[in-house]
Amino acid sequence: MKRILFACWLIGNVLLSGIAVGQQITVYGEVKGEGGQQPLAGAVVFVENTRKQITTDDEGKFHIMLKPGRYNIGAFAFGYKTVLQSIQLKDKKHNLTFVLPELRDSLEMVEVQAERAETFGITRLRSVEGMAIYEGKKSEVVVLDDITANLATNNSRQVYAKVAGLNIWESDGAGLQLGIGGRGLNPNRTSHFNTRQNGYDISADALGYPESYYTPPTQALERIEVVRGAASLQYGTQFGGMLNFVMKKGPKDKKIELTSEQTMGSFGLFNSFNSVGGTVGKVNYYTYFHYKQSDGWRPNTQLEQYNVFSSLKYNLSDKWTLGLDFTHMNYLAQQPGGLTDQQFESDPQQSRRNRNWFKVNWNLLALTLDYKLSPNTKINSRFFGLSASREALGNLSRIDREDEPGTNRNLISGVFQNIGNETRLMHYYNLRGHKSVFLIGTRFYKGFSNQQQGEGNALEGADFHFENPDWLMSDYDFPSGNISVFAENIFNLTPKFSITPGIRFEYLSTNAEGFYRIVNRNLADEIIYDEEVAEDRSNQRSFVFFGLGLSYKKSEQLEFYANASQNYRSVNFSDIRIDNPNLVVDPDLGDVRGLSTDIGVRGGVNDYLSFDVSVFHLYLYDWIARIRERVSDVKEQIRSGNIGDIRAYGVEAYAETELVRLFTGKSLPNRLYWFTNVSLINASYTDSEIRQVVGNKVENAPEVNLKTGLTFKRKNFSATYQLTYLSQQYSNANNDKTEITSTAGEIPAYYVMDLSLRYTYKWLKLESGVNNLTDNMYFTRRATGYPGPGIIPSDGRSLYMTLGVKI
């Protein structure tokens, strides 16, 4: 199956790439600084309303190929204002000269002015974006306004459809939590990505508990930035890379703009998103209120969520800009529990738990400061903090056993607090006649988590109080600290070839202070032994890791790139003492280290073909995984620990084309886009002390991960059909087909289809669609704890409709 899919994709793209472009006119030009004397190397020249852009050489010169017609062509450089020129192309060549005034208004002016030109819904980060370097790195940017999808439920299959290789866990149909992974990395709460919002941390604890219970509503997002493994040099921990949610801003040309979107959907879904933003004087502001409720596809799946976000950006002077963000989110969700394999086969919509609840309260505050030292040097400093909690209440026992009414439930209470600062300095300079970019930064982080586990009450409602707070099963504090220093430099050796080395120093401190309780009971459930065991563990370590990126831009439409970066993942102390009858966690867990490599080619043909094809290699030492092992002649257990070393390699490819223009050579009102995104992966255990594991497939690593679809657009109307297919995968290192508790085993191959429609007219927007069009019964995960244990079925067919206004 995978060979057929790959062959079809490869043949299709070869045919598409081989079609002639047609008559072209060469536009020659140069970009100079204020006064017209200084050539600006590394300036960006772009064509408005297209995806075309090119960087000037060391003499400030450029050339770009266009078809005959009228164009607005612009140029910008860091420290200078953007200049646009309108030209009519008729002859075989044309000459342009840009003279850019120095920037005296706002650092925001260095943003690409062509950014709002229509994309395919996905683009990639430039070599330098904001205060970060992405030269030679594999990156994707999801542009939310340019995709037709169910944004009201944060439908991850649709939102991330064009990001190659992502494995998505579907834990709830309303989009409360995001669960994405890739290349064999666990998708659970996106814990293998360094997850950020507007560049600052949003996870519970970046070191000891990197899970993200908070996901911003996609209706509030301008774009989503995804950088793969090479992100480690600038962002630190996590092999998956960096995931950054960039929030919308208030319009610069209006004092006030109001947006309201109301969504109704299947299973009692109601989603209300309302925002206001604008610019008054030197202040840009944006704020939204978001409310969501749903009864859910399965019984016992009701939920209610509130979201509030406010952002201010104040241009203090021509050199100083101050920003302030505040985020609050809370939700309460009933959890229907998991299912055994037999229960899923008989009725995947059933629920075996009616007393399980989950509650989250999340508060984020961030202060940013930008300072322009000179036209070539700027500083950014981000201060951020989190105050959050989550409460899990219910029955965690095996799902094949009934939840007896009147018995006390299990309560796990977590409190998370952290503060941090990241400060970066970026400097542009000339080296041997070529423009180079230097970035250096520091990170200071202090985290504190407290986790308690004990007995809740025997009722059915969401009462998150310990029945006996003086008799807990465990009570732990998890203080953590991190100091980092990192640097990268783009050396442009020629106008086309660059090398970007990087280095990062890390100091880590993770600690566990508290106690756990050992309790033995007789057959009458009476306590016959009770011991409280104190524990105080501390782990300090420091290390240096390196990375290297290469980029060769053969033309403005074709780039070859490669990168290799070391990385690590800190051990998650906060999981060590969880009392879970379905899982035993090894108390000697250690950090995971490894190397991530990408080699690829990306580009496009004018504005009707875009592609990114790469091969990757991931080698990780002391990988943490779950394994089923026998502890006696009559008893088995599932243990989580450092199982062994793994290797993952494969192909990740994305291509999209506008079919009408491709075959007719004309830009017509009716446009039909076709995209294909495929990942082929081989991930296995190469070394382990457990002999039977060596050679097994790595869990959460389907060999084929395919997403493909069509988008039809005509003026203000668009419609998108999408097919998602994942081949079979495993959930534990044993590669079990099934297991008696259903917390481990095979995740069978599945496919799912989605259809979305959108129509806009001036201030009005209408959206509608169907998710899981064919009503397939499938699942993407097996849970050892909440929201299970057991199989978590994905939602059946659902419909939605959105009415939106903007005034």
Name the region of 283 (left: φ>0; alpha: ψ -120 to 50; beta: rest): beta
- Between 206-210, 612-616, 792-796, the lowest mean confidence (pLDDT) is in 206-210
Looking at residues 780-788, what average pLDDT do you find?
Answer: 90
Q: What angle do CA 261, 264, 270 make, to 5 degrees?
A: 85
Question: Which phi and psi angles does 8 have, rounded to 5°?
Answer: -65, -45
Report which of 111, 97, 133, 126 is spatially closest to residue 428, judged by C-alpha positions.
133
How far separated are the first and last CA of the chain, in Å rounded?
Answer: 50
> pLDDT tens, 513-549?
999 888 888 877 788 888 998 988 888 999 999 999 9
Q: What angle do CA 169, 174, 178 make, to 5 degrees?
A: 35
Q: Which amino acid is at 527?
A: I
pLDDT band per the 50, 70, 90 thresholds, residue 23: low
Number of neighbours of residue 575 by Cβ within 10 angstroms = 18
pTM: 0.88
Structure-token pair, residue 45: 């020249």
Number of neighbours of residue 544 by Cβ within 10 angstroms = 10
Looking at residues 168-173, what average pLDDT do you find?
Answer: 91
What's the CA gap between 465 and 456, in Å, rounded? 6
- Which residues touch 665 (CB under 8 Å, ≥6 apart)? 22
Residue for token digits 């507007």?
Answer: 198
Q: What angle do CA 509, 511, 517 make, to 5 degrees?
A: 170
Q: How far is CA 26 from the centre of its chain?
A: 39
- Between 263-272, 536-545, 706-715, the lowest mean confidence (pLDDT) is in 536-545
Cis peptide before 787 (omega within 30 of 0): yes
- Calculate the alpha carbon distances from 63 to 36, 46, 67, 115 in Å: 19, 11, 14, 21
- Between 30-34, 378-382, 788-792, 800-804, the lowest mean confidence (pLDDT) is in 30-34
pLDDT band per the 50, 70, 90 thresholds, residue 577: low
Report which of 109, 326, 262 is spatially closest to residue 804, judged by C-alpha positions.
262
pLDDT band per the 50, 70, 90 thresholds, residue 77: confident
Residue for token digits 């520091």?
Answer: 442
Q: Give residue 103's pLDDT.
A: 61
- Between 115-124, 290-299, 588-597, 675-684, the lowest mean confidence (pLDDT) is in 115-124
Q: Give residue 94's pLDDT.
A: 83
What's the CA gap between 254 and 279, in Å, rounded? 6
pLDDT band per the 50, 70, 90 thresholds, residue 574: low
Q: Give residue 578's pLDDT.
A: 60
> pLDDT tens, 578-634?
666 666 777 777 889 999 999 999 998 767 789 999 999 999 999 988 888 777 776
Exposure letters 53-72 (e unless 16+ CB within 10 A, then b):
bbbbbbebebbbebeeeebe
pLDDT band per the 50, 70, 90 thresholds, residue 18: very low
Looking at residues 433-457, what average pLDDT do you find?
Answer: 93
Has residue 342 got a pLDDT over 90? yes
| Radius of gyration for the chain, computed over Cα atoms and rounded to the nearest angstrom | 27
Number of neighbours of residue 521 by Cβ within 10 angstroms = 11
- Between 75-84, 188-197, 215-224, 250-259, the lowest mean confidence (pLDDT) is in 75-84
Looking at residues 383-396, what average pLDDT do you find?
Answer: 96
pLDDT band per the 50, 70, 90 thresholds, residue 274: very high
3-state secondary structure of 272: strand
Q: Give residue 634's pLDDT.
A: 67
> pLDDT tens, 212-229?
899 999 999 999 999 998
Average pLDDT, the chain: 89
pLDDT band per the 50, 70, 90 thresholds, residue 106: very low
Residue for token digits 């009616």?
Answer: 354
Number of neighbours of residue 342 by Cβ within 10 angstroms = 10
Q: How far is CA 284 from the centre of its chain?
A: 26
Number of neighbours of residue 96 by Cβ within 10 angstroms = 17
Give me the sign of the Cα torsion angle 578, 574, 568, 596: positive
Has residue 641 got a pLDDT over 80? yes
Looking at residues 784-798, what average pLDDT do you find?
Answer: 93
Q: Give residue 526's pLDDT.
A: 82
pLDDT band per the 50, 70, 90 thresholds, residue 563: very high
Has residue 57 got a pLDDT over 90? no
Q: Fold for domain 244-806?
A: Maltoporin; Chain A (2.40.170)
Q: Give residue 36's pLDDT.
A: 76
Q: What percent of the chain has pLDDT over 90?
A: 63
pLDDT band per the 50, 70, 90 thresholds, residue 236: confident
Structure-token pair, residue 725: 């297919």
- For residues 348 and 788, which has the higher predicted lDDT (pLDDT)? 348
Q: 75 with 83: CB under 8 angstroms?
A: yes
What's the CA gap between 391 and 96, in Å, rounded? 62
Structure-token pair, residue 769: 């669609």
- Calculate the alpha carbon distances from 16 to 39, 51, 337, 654, 774 in Å: 38, 18, 47, 13, 30
Instruction: Provide the residue ranges of all domains of the chain, joining segments of one domain with +.
Output: 244-806
What's the CA gap between 60 and 257, in Å, rounded? 40
Report which of 484, 649, 682, 473 is spatially closest to residue 577, judged by C-alpha positions.
473
Looking at residues 134-138, what average pLDDT do you find?
Answer: 95
Has residue 104 got a pLDDT over 50? no
Q: Give residue 519's pLDDT.
A: 87
Report which of 171, 156, 143, 157 is spatially closest to residue 331, judged by C-alpha positions.
171
Q: Which DSSP string do the residues of 287-354 spell out, in sequence order? A: EEEEEEEE--SSSS--EEEEEEEEEEEEE-SSSEEEEEEEEEEEEEEE----B-HHHHHH-TT--S-S
Structure-token pair, residue 635: 């008893």
Cα-Cα-Cα-Cα torsion 249, 165, 721, 116, nearest 10 degrees, comes to 30
What's the CA gap between 388 and 308, in Å, rounded? 15
Q: Give residue 660's pLDDT.
A: 84
Has residue 17 got a pLDDT over 60? no
